[in-house]
């Protein structure tokens, strides 16, 4: 890819890079959801109304889940159609791969080599991609590791290191990405990866097919490295598969499907028109999803066959902190962009209703909390148990269906017993959100001062090479 600049580009704090405070209206809204959801949950212990609450919540959940399961089987762009579109394309789309990194020397070297092995090249062998790494105030030699690895891998001429330096800068991935706005990218599309990402050699070629088929925004399928290392890692792997089922179905239904942070792919012009990256976004993926939906009515395509592998969160305390950030980011996105999404004339009614339903399910854990209090006070536990069972049951339904994509070690379909075991595991794991969401709302309502971004630590363990050849047949 021509035009890449190998010179480091130091940056400092700009006017858009200010630590995020919480507007008072968002605090009030968070408190309102806490109080209102708890009040609804308290009705679960009422003698006469107690049956209505679990029936309503289960009915709404099933009403949303069943169409997703059906629609996920008919995506607007299949992997086969994407590959065919790329074969027919007169000009293949090029990529700018952007990685935000702070003290990630332990994992970046292997990502640089994965990028160098991409088979997405012109007939002359010229790469149809470039690599841009933002070194966000690292003190472990991240920039030097990237430079050395790029030279060794033979892609130094298409690799740039951007140095983000300064004092008082906001933390977080979104803030780091503000140093790699679309104006410094040369590719037709921008691909955002986490520093611990791993790619198979065909990743860019598979992803390019979706753009060739007409998509302007695409998200990769996220896979978990070392998923067999323990219960926690395996549960995260199945959770990502279940989440993919949701987004693939929402996309196929014409809903407001969304990016996922590791593997965001968007046309550079669309990203620029949406205002680029925002330092204040706690969850940059869904923030950008809503901005492009409002601006252009754009839906995010979900690429089943373009897989990004990443490390699992290894400990419960780190997982808790990560999920708190995700949950609070979801509410912040809803408060900031929700009104514009719901009233957007560029979105069809179905897409707006999908957004409302998806955001609305965030209130379920608060209802469960109220039902738990009601059960403890009244001694009538049937309503509480029914709501929890319905919540986990819907997770099980989606999980069972989504696991049709996975393969066993022998490359064959999962057996019924193995599938059932993993469905039970991911359903129990999803119960974590019943605790995380109320806590995130409380943080939103009562925290003072800027948000503190919790960086996830990586250990460099796990190699997806053995899994690349398994699970190849899309379903």
Model pLDDT for residues 292-331, shown as the tens digit of each residue: 999 999 999 999 999 999 999 999 999 999 999 999 999 9
CB 423 within 8 A of CB 89: no
The residues pairing with 311 across neighbouring beta strands, listed in sequence order, are none
- Specify the pLDDT at position 30: 96
- Specify the pLDDT at position 111: 97
> Residue 9: pLDDT above 70?
no
pLDDT range class, residue 18, cuts 50, 70, 90: low
> Residue 236: pLDDT above 60?
yes
- Specify the pLDDT at position 458: 86
- Specify the pLDDT at position 1: 66
What ranges in 154-273 are assigned the alpha helix state H? 173-177, 203-212, 231-252, 268-273
- CATH number for 79-323: choose from 3.65.10.10, 3.90.550.10, 3.40.50.150, 3.50.50.60: 3.90.550.10
The region that residue 125 occupies, defined by phi over 0 for left and psi between -120 and 50 for alpha, beta otherwise, is: left
Model pLDDT for residues 239-262, shown as the tens digit of each residue: 999 999 999 999 999 999 999 999
DSSP letter (8 states) at residue 5:
-
Mean pLDDT of the residues in the chain: 90
Tokens of 447: 């925290």
Model pLDDT for residues 408-435, shown as the tens digit of each residue: 777 788 999 999 999 999 999 999 999 9
- Beta pairing class for 159-164 and 264-267: unpaired
Which stretch of DSSP H or E encloses residue 218?
Answer: strand 217-224
Q: How many C-beta atoms lie closer than 10 Å to residue 23's C-beta? A: 12
pLDDT range class, residue 47, cuts 50, 70, 90: low
pTM of the model: 0.92
Tokens of 109: 């070297």
Q: Any residues with CB less than 8 A from the CB of 421 and at least 6 apart, and which?
A: none
What does the pLDDT average to over 260-267?
A: 96
Model pLDDT for residues 376-392, shown as the tens digit of each residue: 988 888 888 888 888 88
Greater model confidence, 427 or 458: 427
Ordered by start, the domain boundaries in the chain are 24-72+356-446, 79-323
What does the pLDDT average to over 110-126?
A: 97
- Reading across the β-sheet that carries 198-199, which strands appear in turn? 159-164, 129-136, 95-101, 189-193, 264-267, 217-224, 301-310, 198-199
Q: What does the alpha-carbon distance between residue 332 and residue 193 come to, in Å, rounded to a whole number?
A: 23
Q: What is the dihedral of CA 344, 216, 250, 352, to 10 degrees?
A: 0
């Amino acid at each position: 890819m021509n035009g890449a600049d190998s010179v480091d580009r130091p940056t400092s704090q700009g006017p858009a890079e200010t630590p995020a405070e919480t507007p008072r209206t968002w605090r009030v809204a968070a408190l309102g959801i806490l109080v209102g959801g708890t009040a609804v949950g308290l009705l679960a212990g009422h003698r006469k109304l107690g049956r209505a609450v679990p029936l309503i919540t289960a009915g709404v959940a099933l009403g949303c889940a069943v169409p997703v399961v059906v629609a996920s089987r008919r995506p607007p762009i299949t992997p086969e159609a994407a590959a065919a579109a790329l074969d027919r394309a007169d000009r293949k789309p090029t990529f700018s791969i952007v990685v935000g990194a702070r003290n990630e020397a332990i994992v970046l070297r292997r990502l640089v080599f994965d990028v160098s092995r991409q088979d997405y090249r012109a007939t002359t062998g010229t790469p149809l991609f470039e690599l841009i790494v933002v070194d966000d105030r690292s003190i472990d030699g991240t920039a030097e590791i990237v430079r050395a690895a790029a030279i060794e891998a033979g892609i130094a001429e298409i690799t740039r290191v951007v140095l983000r330096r300064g004092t008082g800068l906001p933390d977080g991935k979104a803030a780091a990405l503000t140093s790699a706005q679309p104006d410094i990218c040369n590719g037709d599309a921008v691909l955002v990866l986490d520093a611990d990402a791993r790619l198979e050699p065909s990743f860019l070629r598979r992803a390019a097919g979706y753009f060739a088929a007409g998509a302007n925004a695409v998200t990769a399928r996220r896979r978990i490295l070392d998923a067999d290392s323990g219960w926690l890692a395996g549960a995260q792997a199945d959770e990502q598969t279940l989440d993919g089922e949701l987004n693939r179905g929402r996309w196929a239904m014409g809903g407001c499907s969304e990016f996922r942070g590791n593997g965001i792919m968007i046309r550079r012009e669309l990203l620029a028109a949406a205002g680029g990256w925002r330092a204040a976004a706690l969850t940059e993926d869904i923030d950008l999803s809503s901005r492009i939906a409002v601006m252009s009515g754009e839906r995010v395509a979900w690429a089943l066959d373009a897989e990004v592998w990443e490390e699992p969160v290894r400990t419960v305390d780190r997982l808790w902190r990560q999920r708190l950030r995700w949950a609070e980011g979801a509410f912040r996105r809803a408060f900031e962009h929700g009104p514009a999404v719901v009233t957007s004339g560029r979105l069809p009614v179905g897409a707006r209703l999908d957004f409302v339903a998806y955001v609305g399910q965030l209130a379920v854990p608060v209802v469960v909390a109220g039902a738990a209090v009601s059960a403890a006070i009244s001694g009538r536990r049937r309503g509480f148990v029914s709501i929890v069972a319905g919540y986990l049951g819907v997770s099980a339904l989606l999980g069972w269906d989504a696991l049709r994509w996975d393969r066993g070690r022998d490359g064959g379909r999962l057996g019924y017993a193995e599938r059932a075991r993993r469905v039970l595991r991911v359903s129990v794991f999803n119960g974590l959100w019943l605790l995380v969401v109320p806590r995130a709302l409380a943080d939103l309502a009562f925290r003072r001062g800027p948000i503190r971004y919790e960086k996830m630590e990586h250990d460099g363990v796990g190699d997806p090479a053995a899994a690349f050849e398994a699970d190849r047949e899309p379903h």
